Amino acid sequence: MTVAQAPSIDWTAVRADFPVLTREVHGKPLIYFDSANTGQKPAAVIEAVDDFYRHHNANVSRAVHALGSEATEAYEGARAKLARFLNVRVEELVLCSGTTFAINLVAYSWALPRLRPGDAIVLTRMEHHANIVPWQLVAQRTGTTIKVAEIDERGQLDLNQLYALLTPEVKLLALTHVSNVLGTVNPVREICREARKRGIATLVDGSQAAPHRPLDIAAIGCDFYAITGHKMSGPTGTGALWARREHLDAMPPFIGGGEMIKEVRFEGTVFADGPRKFEAGTPNIAGFVGLGAAVDYLSALGMAHIDAREQALLAYANEALSQVPGLRIFGQAQEKAAVISFLVEGAHAHDLATLLDLEGVAIRSGHHCAHPLMQHFGVPATCRASLAFYNTHDEIDAFVAALNKVRKLLA
């Protein structure tokens, strides 16, 4: 079913599912434009977590009593829901605390044992620090070098330069699906295809893609894909790493402990099969129950509908912001998510964000965990308004009015 053919969605009713959006801040209605930082939670997610602790709380995979079975079923049910959402196999999905852990898992269990002096890793200018720092740490320990794929003036990858970097010594290409600063949507399917032709493994950071657009990891053709649950309206401390089965089978455990073993003797340990050999200790059970509820919620709305809604909000916001004197938007990619990084001439990003907060508007200011990207643009920080399907056109109007008000105060 195409978006045009789909039944209309009452977005006002959808917004009412999110309790926090009814509150006031500094005596003003909350306008939450920071969903790239963390997504707000619908009542269904909050209630799922509450219900687990009230009625089903037990550890997973350890007890035969009723509560233990219920907890295990709910936890593994969340894994299955997430696998369907991403179009991957359950046995290839490692549940973890989020994208940062997922990338570090690949860095230490896959890359560290394989990389040698003279090898190289390719990253892009627009990466979050979580997709830079782990590779720097591995590079320091292995003698590997890091190459950087640059962007053009619109915030798009220079694909010709990127492909020129994919020389025989490159063993891994790690890149974001959607930039958390610019909103740029990278053509990851094409890029992964080019890397695979050259025998280069690929890792895609999907933190900003999973909450906002339909995903088909099998079609992307990468080797690893990482997501974060709290950005897709799930609880904090949840996420996942998808990896090809041959990689999971070959990778040694990253963290040792209970539940990631088949048998332990002092002479040696037999580890569980992947993904469980990477899931040591008691997991965030209630969090994943909540993430399962979040996946149900997003799936019921339909990711294509969410994408279309957010694209409409983005177009409206871009038009409204174009009327603000002295405002500069960073990132005007042909395909981008509903993320707008900006500065206003003569005003510091933190001052703008602080004064906007007094008007009830929540945006983020700073380097957005993307120092190299800030260095590229020659600025220490930007403001970032990131929209979600639960936002409204009226909120955008109020945001622009507040922005004009604080702009005059700072002039």
Catalytically active residues are 369
Residue 226: which H helix or E strand, with range? strand 224-228
Smallest CA-to-CA distance from 135 within 124, 123, 153 is with: 123
Distances (CA, A) of 28 to 14, 22, 41, 71, 313: 21, 11, 21, 41, 22
Give the contacts of 156 (CB within 8 A, at least 6 positions apart). 184, 333, 334
**What HEC string does 160-193 produce?**
HHHHHHCCCCEEEEEEECECCCCCEECCHHHHHH
Radius of gyration of the chain (CA): 22
Give the torsion sign (CA, 131, 132, 135, 137): negative
Give the contacts of 44 (CB within 8 A, at least 6 positions apart). 17, 293, 294, 296, 297
State both tokens at 263: 């048998």
Report the distance separating Cα 350 and Cα 347, nearest Å.
9
Q: Residue 20 CB: number of other CB atoms within 10 A?
A: 12
* Whether the Cβ atoms of residue 333 and residue 178 lie closer than 8 Å to each other: no
* Whether the Cβ atoms of residue 249 and residue 274 lie closer than 8 Å to each other: yes
Write the DSSP symbol of residue 62: S
Q: Give burial (CB, 10 Å; 0-12/13-18/19+) of 255.
A: middle
